[in-house]
Structure 1
Amino acid sequence: MENRLYHKKRRSWLLAGTLSLGLFYSCSDSFLDVPPEGQAVETQFFQTQAHALQAVNSIYGNLREWNNIAFAHLALTTVSSDDADKGSVPGDAGFMNLYDQFTVTPTEGQLNGYWVGQYQGINLTNRVLDNVPGITMDEALKTRLLAEAKFLRAYHYFNLVRAFGGVPIISSVPETPEELNPVRNSREEVYAFIEQDLTEAAAVLPTAYTASDVGRATKGAALGMLAKVKLYQSEWQDVLSLTEQVMGLGYSLTPDFYQIFRISGENNSESIFEIQAQTIPGNCDASNSQWAEVQAVREQFGWGFFTPTEDLVNAFEPGDERKEATILFRGETTPEGDIINPNAPNPRYNQKAYVPSSVTQVCGYGKDQNIRILRYAEVLLMHAEAANELGQTGKVESSLNMVRERAGLDPISYTTKEDMRLKIWHERRVELALENGERFYDLVRQGRAEQVLRAHGKNFTAGKNEVFPIPLNQITLSGGRLEQNPGY
Structure 2
Amino acid sequence: MKTFKTIILTGFLSSLTLTSCSDDLNIKPEGKITPEGFFSTDRAVELVNATYNNLLQWQQFSFSWIGVSSIISDDADKGSDPGDTGADKDKLDALTFTSTDPSFNEVWGANYRGITRANTAIGIISSPDVTLDQDFKNRLLGEAHFLRAYFYFNLVRMFGDIPKLDRILDPNVPEDLAAVSIRVPQAEIYDLIIADLTFASENLKNKSQMDVGRATSGAALTLLAKVNMYLKNWNEVKRLTDEVMASGQYDLQADYATLWRESSENGIESIFEVQGLGGPLNLGVQGYVVTQSVRGQWGWGFNTPSQDLANAYDAAGDNIRKNATIIFGGETMWDGEQVIQSPPNPMYNEKAYISRVAETFNGNDWESNKNIRVLRFAEVLLMNAEALNELGQSSAALIPLNKVRTRVSLPDVLTTDQTQLRLAIWNERRLELAFEHDRWFDLVRQGRAGQVMRAAGKPFVDGKHELFPIPEAQIDVSGGALTQNPGY
- Kept in 1, the 8 Å contact 2:62–2:285? The answer is no
Match for 2:295 among 298, 312, 315? Answer: 298
- Residue 152 (structure 1) aligns with: 147
Q: Which amino acid aligns with 2:234?
A: W
- Kept in 2, the 8 Å contact 1:32–1:276? The answer is no
TM-score for both structures, normalised by structure 1:
0.90
1:52 aligns with 2:44: yes
Matches of 1:338 and 1:68 in 2, distance apart?
30
Q: 1:36 to 1:87 in 2, by over 3 A?
A: farther
Moved more, 354-363 or 270-279: 354-363
Match for 1:95 among 84, 88, 110? Answer: 88
Matches of 2:131 and 2:12 in 1, distance apart?
28
Runs (5+) with no aligned partner, structure 1: 1-28
Match for 1:68 among 60, 75, 90? Answer: 60
- Superposition deviation, residue 414 in structure 1: 1.7
The count of corresponding residues between Structure 1 and Structure 2 is 456
Q: How does 1:180-199 map to 2 (within 5 A)?
A: 180-182=177-179, 183-199=182-198
Deviations 1:160-188 (CA, angstroms, capped at 9, x unpaired): 00000011110011113542342011011
Deviations 1:131-178 (CA, angstroms, capped at 9, x unpaired): 112322222211100010000000000000000001111001111354
- Residue 451 (structure 2) aligns with: 451
- Residue 215 (structure 2) aligns with: 217
Q: How does 1:34-183 map to 2 (within 5 A)?
A: 34-35=8-9, 41=15, 45-92=37-84, 93=86, 95-134=88-127, 135-175=130-170, 176-182=173-179, 183=182
Matches of 1:366 and 1:121 in 2, distance apart?
19
Moved more, 226-235 or 100-109: 100-109
Q: 1:297 to 1:181 in 2, by over 3 A?
A: farther
- Superposition deviation, residue 293 in structure 1: 1.6
- Kept in 1, the 8 Å contact 2:288–2:366? The answer is no
- Superposition deviation, residue 319 in structure 1: 4.3
1:233 aligns with 2:231: yes
Deviations 1:252-303 (CA, angstroms, capped at 9, x unpaired): 000000111001110011111111111241x33x345321221111121111
- Residue 418 (structure 1) aligns with: 419
- Kept in 1, the 8 Å contact 2:63–2:287? The answer is no
Matches of 1:74 and 1:413 in 2, distance apart?
35
1:368 aligns with 2:369: yes
TM-score for both structures, normalised by structure 2:
0.90
1:461 aligns with 2:461: yes
- Kept in 2, the 8 Å contact 1:127–1:173? The answer is yes
Describe the SS at the equivalent of 1:349: strand
Q: Which amino acid aligns with 1:173?
A: I
Matches of 2:432 and 2:417 in 1, distance apart?
22
Matches of 2:7 and 2:346 in 1, distance apart?
37
- Kept in 2, the 8 Å contact 1:118–1:159? The answer is yes
Matches of 2:207 and 2:435 in 1, distance apart?
27
- Kept in 2, the 8 Å contact 1:302–1:365? The answer is no
Matches of 2:290 and 2:10 in 1, distance apart?
18
Matches of 1:240 and 1:141 in 2, distance apart?
30
- Kept in 2, the 8 Å contact 1:101–1:460? The answer is no
